[in-house]
Amino acid sequence: MEKLKINLYGYVQNNLGDDLFFEYVVNRYPSYTFKLFAPPIYLDTFSNTENIKLIYPSLSKRVLNKFYKSIFKKNLNLFTSNVDVSLLVGGSLFIENMDWEIGHKEFTNKFLASNQNYLLGANFGPYSSQEFYNSYQRVFTNFEDICFREEYSKQLFKHLKNVRVAPDMLFGYKNNDFIIKEEKKVFISVIKPSIRKDLIEIDTKYFKGITKLVEKYTLQGYEISLVSFCQAEGDEQAIDEIYSLLRDKKSVRKIYYKGINREEIISELSSSEIIVATRFHAMILGWVFNKKVLPLIYSDKTLNVIKDVGFSGKYIDIRKDDDYSINQKEIGFLEDVTSIAIESERHFEVLDTVLK
């Protein structure tokens, strides 16, 4: 029997969460080959993953990485022809911005080309116009299965019979490969708020807030890791800004995700006592490894998931909170992570019938 031809889509900017999505999915189906259209930097990212075949035009890395978006449009037809399954995995894939119609056109072209379309792990929004919502709703009817990661997104499309919900895919991340020897460390994932149009004014407040947290934990004898999940979104710039504000840097190290060091970052997280999580998947992975987690919320997606899973610990909403002071006893664990991990497997219950 001839193997299915599978195209894999998602956010290909070496964001740790999205790269873990790709890795998690292809490892679940090791007997299938997934074609991933991505910049050549991904040759290194998945150099040890045998069932990902990278598709990219034969241009230099420098040129391709710089002009990836425009090149993608020109080569899309080559990639989407003669496809059996198109699988889109990712988180915040549907955000309304000024040029959303261009992105929607590309999205439509991709998912009308294959026989079967699947969307796993996403949330919908933020969006403001009915036109944006209606445009994607029409395309969603062409999907065999859509499994969102939060109840809010599911409710937006509850009238579509192919729409479901399950907890974030990475709740099912297998942590047995990591020997969890907890040390007196704080793992802090940061973002650069101003790359997001609704957070353009809060860089200074956020950087000062993180600086105060670092200084507080340093005085208590903790080692601190400032961790970037995505260079392309300014995380490294944010770390450098925060680092420059610190008076005592001796106990602070900087860790940057470079596409090839996923294990290093997860090992650092798993060995830390406290996770200060601005990045969504720092929060999820902190819960998976049964850590005390302080979420720093910059988007409703985080707040929605906190409510969905019943997390009762303290969080800070950086969009409106000015005070980052926190009582140690308020930083909480997520109870019953095991049952949530089992529920997260529901993302694959339809795709499993095709690929297993």
Domain contains 14: yes
35 and 146, same domain (yes or no): yes
pTM for the model stands at: 0.92
15 and 161, same domain (yes or no): yes
Domain contains 353: no
| Triad 331, 332, 334: Cα angle to 5° | 155
190 and 102, same domain (yes or no): no
Domain boundary among 165, 194, 213: 165
Q: pLDDT value at position 103?
A: 83
Instruction: Say which residue the tokens 């004014």 belong to.
Output: 201
82 and 230, same domain (yes or no): no
Range of the domain at 57: 6-165
Two structure tokens written together for 212: 């105060």
Distance CA 298, CA 279 (A): 9
68 and 199, same domain (yes or no): no
CATH for 77: 3.40.50
Task: Cite the beta strand spans of the chain per DSSP E.
Answer: 6-9, 34-37, 52-55, 83-89, 92-94, 114-124, 145-148, 163-165, 185-189, 223-228, 252-256, 274-277, 292-297, 316-317
61 and 33, same domain (yes or no): yes
Summarised one tens digit per residue, pLDDT across range 238-264 is 999 999 999 999 999 999 999 999 999
Number of domains making up the chain? 2
232 and 260, same domain (yes or no): yes
Summarised one tens digit per residue, pLDDT across range 28-78 is 999 999 999 899 999 999 999 999 999 876 544 444 444 444 444 444 444
Q: pLDDT value at position 48?
A: 93
pLDDT in tens, the chain (356 residues): 468 999 999 999 999 999 999 999 999 999 999 999 899 999 999 999 999 999 876 544 444 444 444 444 444 444 556 788 999 999 999 999 888 988 888 878 777 666 799 999 999 999 999 999 999 999 999 999 999 999 999 999 999 999 999 999 999 998 766 667 789 999 999 999 999 988 999 999 999 999 999 999 999 999 999 999 999 999 999 999 999 999 999 999 999 999 999 999 999 999 999 999 999 999 999 999 999 999 999 999 999 999 999 999 999 999 999 999 888 888 999 998 999 999 999 999 999 999 97
